[in-house]
Amino acid sequence: MRSMIERELQAHKETIERTIETMIPSIEQASKLVTQTLKGGYKVLLCGNGGSAADAQHIAAELTGRYKTERRGLPGIALTTDTSALTAIGNDYGYDRIFDRQVEALANKGDLLIGISTSGNSNNVISALTLAKEMGCHTLGLSGRDGGAMSDVCTLNLIVPSHDTPRIQEIHILIGHIICQGVDDAFI
């Protein structure tokens, strides 16, 4: 048991070290994009599947509630939470449309859609990002591996330097928290 725990922690440490070596400029750019969007009076929408859906909800909650600092609530909307919309859209249009239909209904030019996918290839996330871009929204990706198809449809795609899904997810929520700290700093 102990050796497994040590292996997992070591793998996490190595991913963090690679992230520090390669991603600080892009995380800074993403933080500025989110902050500028919110300062401009626009909203941030987020989507993803499975653990990435949970991350989308987590980040949206940090924006609407607070991260660490008392500040006004900010418009962060996870497109993963409305079970009636998800099941109706999935039933009527197919699972690949569950996010883009919500983008069509809720997004406006100037808003930001954050798509989260460890592979960068989730069809429903790609579809939502594509539509958001066509509508004049900014698009930010959180991905891993080689960035996948998200690299073609994102204003900026943050690619975690790993092929291991749990490590990618760990860095995604860390990046989300760093962005939320940047937002807190900008709104105090």
Mind listing the pLDDT tens digit for each residue in 150-177?
Answer: 999 999 999 999 999 999 999 999 999 9
For the chain, give every domain's residue range.
2-186
How far apart are alpha carbons 52 and 107 in whole angstroms? 20
* Edge-to-edge strand list for the sheet holding 156-159: 76-78, 44-48, 112-116, 138-143, 156-159
Q: Is the whole-model pTM more than 0.95?
A: yes
Q: What is the number of H-type helices and E-type strands within the chain?
A: 7, 5
CB–CB of 139/109 below 8 Å?
no
Question: For the stretch 93-104, what's the b/e string if a residue is b when 16 or more beta carbons lie within 10 angstroms of its beta carbon?
Answer: eeebbbbbbbbe
Tell me the CATH class for 2-186.
Answer: alpha beta
How far apart are alpha carbons 59 and 102 in whole angstroms? 18
CB–CB of 150/126 below 8 Å?
yes
pLDDT computed for residue 127 by the predictor: 98
